[in-house]
Amino acid sequence: MSETIRVQLNEDEMPRAWYNIAADFSKPMPPPLGRDGKPVTAEMLAPVFPMNLIEQEVSTQRWIPIPDEVRQILYRWRPTPMRRAVGLERALGTPARIYFKDESVSPAGSHKCNTSVAQAYYNREYGIKRMTTETGAGQWGAALAMACKLMGVELRVYMVRVSFDQKPMRKMMMNTWGAECLSSPTNLTQAGRDVLAKWPDTPGSLGIAISEAIEDCVNSKNTRYGLGSVLNHVLLHQTIIGLEAKEQFKKIGRYPDIIIGCAGGGSNFAGIAFPFLADKIAGSKSPRVTAVEPSACPKMTKGVFAYDAGDVAMMTPLLPMYTLGHEYQPAAIHAGGLRYHGMAPLVSHALRQGLIDAVAIPQVECFAAAVQFAETEGLIPAPESSHAIAQAIREAKQAKEEGREKTILFNLSGNGVLDLSGYQAFKDGKLIDHIFDGDDLKKSLSCIKGLPKPPPL
C-alpha cells in the first residue's frame, strides 16, 4: 500500500497543554499600554475579560494545561487529521510533499472553535453568565455561539451590517445554537446610536461592532467580552493545531521544511506556527515559516510596527503590532476574516525578530488556488485559507524548478461552504484584485501619530 494519506491521532495523543511562545522569546515583548502611555494592568482589563483569561494573557509559563472539560469537548472533532494533498501534488507535478492540517472539520467549520470552547469555559468557571462579541463574516460568531450553548453561557453577537445582510445563513447558524445576532450598528449602545445618527446608511465595520460589544459588556451585569483573534490567550488556545501537527509528522518520520498559514488577526497562523518556532528558537530545527496576508490588507509587508488601538473607537488598549492604522478600511475582499488593520502582538514580535516571514497575495490568485485545490482534493476551502494554499502552490512550483523534494505544511483554517458566492464570482470572472496602495500609507497611519512609540528591539 502507498503512503498514508490521512495521518490521524487518537484521543490520548491529543496535547494536554497549550504552548505559550512568550516563555521562549529571547527578546522581551513591549507591554500593551493604556491611553495614558502606562502599561495596562490586570485590573484595567477586569471589566472586559474574566481574571482566569487575563492570567493567560499575561502569562510567561511555557505550558498551560488544557482543562479536562475543554478537552472532552475538543475530542468531539480533535485531534484533527493531517492530510497529504496527493491530488494537488500530482496536478502540479511537483517533487514537494504537501501536507495540510484540516481545521475545517470542527462543528462550526473553522479553527475558531479551539478558542471559543476555552473562552466560554473560563468565563463560566469565573461565574460569568453572559458574553458579548462582534463578528465580521460570521465564523467567529458561529464558533462562540456553539461554545456558549455547550457551556450554558448566554451570547449576543454584534455582526457587521453588510455581512448580516449578505450572509443570512451565518446568522441562522448562530440562532440555531441559541445566540442573539444583531445587525451592527444597533440603537442599543451609545456607540451604535452615535454612528446611526451621523451615517444612517453605514454598512457597519468591525471597529464599530467591537465598540458596541465592549460597551454592552461593561454596562451589563455578569457579562464579559470575547475576542476571536489578536490577543495572547486566543493564540495560545490555537497552538493545539501545531502541537498535533508535530506529533503527526513524528508518526510519519518527517519534519516540514516550510510552514504556511494565512493571517488576519494572526490566530490560525500562530496556531500552526508557534509549536514549530519553539524548535527554531531552540536551534534544533530551521523551518521557513510564512504568514500570508491579502494584498488588500498588507499590514506585515507594507505597514509599520507601532502602538495602535484594536478598534476604530480606540476602546481597546494600545497594542505593539504591525498595523495599517486603526482607521484603515480594507476593501471588501471575500476573505472577510483577513480584513483587519493590525497583526497579533505575538506574531508581530516573531516577525520583528526574523523568526517568520510574510507575503501578501491578491485575491484572484488565491481563488484560483482554492479552485485547483477543490478540483484535486475535493474539499472547498474558506477564502481565508486559500491564501495559505496559494503560497503552498508557489512553494511547490519553486521546488519543482529546483528539483527538490521539500516538505510543505499549511493550515486549512476552515471550509468555504458558506462562502460559495465568492467562488461563483471567481468562476464568472467578476472578481477583481484590491492592492493596497503604498501612497495611502501616510494617510492611513495619520491616526496613530500622537500615540507612544515602541522601544527598539
For its own copies, the binding residues (CB under 8 A) are: 1-2, 4-6, 8, 10-12, 72-73, 75-77, 83, 86-87, 105, 107-109, 113, 146, 149-150, 169, 172-173, 175-178, 371, 374-380, 417-418, 420-421, 423-424, 427
- Taking the least distance from each CB to its own copies, the nearer of 12 and 36 is 12
Q: Are the beta carbons of 9 and 247 closer than 8 angstroms?
A: yes
Measured in residues, the chain has a length of 457
CB of 295 to its own copies, least distance (A): 23
Q: Are the beta carbons of 363 and 335 closer than 8 angstroms?
A: yes
CB of 271 to its own copies, least distance (A): 19
Sign of the CA dihedral running 261, 266, 271, 277:
positive
- Taking the least distance from each CB to its own copies, the nearer of 171 and 352 is 171
| Number of neighbouring beta carbons within 10 Å of residue 353 | 14
Q: Are the beta carbons of 256 and 399 closer than 8 angstroms?
A: no
CB of 415 to its own copies, least distance (A): 9
CB of 218 to its own copies, least distance (A): 29
Q: Are the beta carbons of 415 and 378 closer than 8 angstroms?
A: no
- Taking the least distance from each CB to its own copies, the nearer of 177 and 274 is 177
Which three-class secondary structure state does DSSP give residue 410? strand
Q: Tell me the three cell numbers of residue 444.
A: 492611513
CB of 99 to its own copies, least distance (A): 13
Q: Are the beta carbons of 300 and 343 closer than 8 angstroms?
A: yes
Q: Are the beta carbons of 373 and 389 closer than 8 angstroms?
A: yes
Q: Are the beta carbons of 304 and 348 closer than 8 angstroms?
A: no
Q: Are the beta carbons of 237 and 200 closer than 8 angstroms?
A: no
CB of 370 to its own copies, least distance (A): 9
- Taking the least distance from each CB to its own copies, the nearer of 104 and 205 is 104
CB of 426 to its own copies, least distance (A): 9
CA distances from 377 to 91, 98, 172, 349 (A): 10, 12, 29, 35
- Taking the least distance from each CB to its own copies, the nearer of 427 and 453 is 427
- Taking the least distance from each CB to its own copies, the nearer of 146 and 324 is 146
- Taking the least distance from each CB to its own copies, the nearer of 77 and 126 is 77
CA distances from 390 to 49, 294, 381 (A): 36, 11, 11
